[in-house]
Amino acid sequence: MAQSRYGRVLLKLSGEAFADTSIKYGIDAEIVHQVAAEIVEARENLNVEIAVVVGGGNIFRGLSGSRGGMDRGTADYMGMLGTVINALALQDALEKLDQPCRVQTAIAMAQVAEPYIRRRAIRHLEKGRIVIFAAGTGNPYFTTDTTAALRAAEIGAEAVLKGTHGSVDGVYDRDPRKFPDAKKLDRVAFNDALNDVNIQVMDSTAITFCMENKLPIIVFNVITPGTIRRVLLGEDGVGSIVS
């Protein structure tokens, strides 16, 4: 059996990765199923423990709401609820594939999910369950990127896997969607990711947290079939590593 180079990872998925590509909004059940199948394949065949943080940008983005005049705290809480919707969609897709799964939320909502409890989350992972962390950190002003970095450190993950969508398959020296001659960077130092405004990985809080906790960030296109497996196997040329 092939073996993952990591024993436990935190997979960060953007909410937009779940969106209906025709309208770039809402949830496309087929895409969610595809991502779930990739996660299950990796979990079963590579002997790796996987936790997931899902964004909510396909439902509501708090920062956009605040720019429109909404109170920032209120807007961010609405965004957190959007992540719960995506987490439940992913849980449903995973369970349809017979993969045991738990959703834990940073905002109490006992009717739909467990509260986030670190030791319980770790126990779920040890028992072979996939754990999805929803509702961010439970606090406004923090992104789901920062949530991913925080939860990864809390559960003892060995890497943060950031799954992108669309045509972006790694870290580039500038935005490849605007500049066709943008160069993909196979490896990026944390300091470069922090200081070079053209390099977009995660927000500075998340990058700093990963740097301080020695958590590598691997950026790749999650929509491409087989990529999660290839990243976990450590294949060269797949995505970009920030370390």
Which CATH number characterizes residue 160's domain?
3.40.1160.10
CB burial readout 190-216, b (16+ within 10 A) else e: beebbeeeebebbeeebbbbbbeeebb
Looking at the chain, list the stretches that DSSP marks H as alpha helix, in order from N- to C-terminal side.
29-45, 62-67, 72-96, 118-126, 144-155, 190-195, 204-212, 227-233
pTM reported for the whole predicted model: 0.94
- Asked if the structure places residue 3 within a domain, the reply is no
Per-residue pLDDT tens digits for 12-70? 998 888 887 777 788 889 999 999 999 999 999 999 999 999 998 888 876 676 677 88
- Asked if the structure places residue 115 within a domain, the reply is yes
**pLDDT given at position 122:** 98
- Asked if the structure places residue 2 within a domain, the reply is no
- Nearest-angstrom CA–CA distance, 17 and 29: 11
Q: Is the pLDDT of residue 1 over 80?
A: no
- Asked if the structure places residue 1 within a domain, the reply is no
Counting the structural domains of the chain, the total is 1
Neighbour-count burial of 114, counting CB atoms closer than 10 A to its CB (0-12 exposed, 13-18 middle, 19+ buried): middle
User: Do the Cβ atoms of 170 and 220 come closer than 8 Å?
Assistant: yes
- Asked if the structure places residue 191 within a domain, the reply is yes
Phi/psi region, residue 7 (left: phi>0; alpha: psi -120 to 50; beta: rest), is alpha
Per-residue pLDDT tens digits for 167-200? 678 888 888 878 888 898 899 999 998 998 788 8
**pLDDT given at position 167:** 66
- Asked if the structure places residue 12 within a domain, the reply is yes
* Domain, as residue range, for 34: 8-242
The radius of gyration computed from the CA coordinates of the chain, to the nearest angstrom, equals 17
Q: 162 by DSSP, 3-state: which? A: strand
Report which DSSP code applies to 15: G
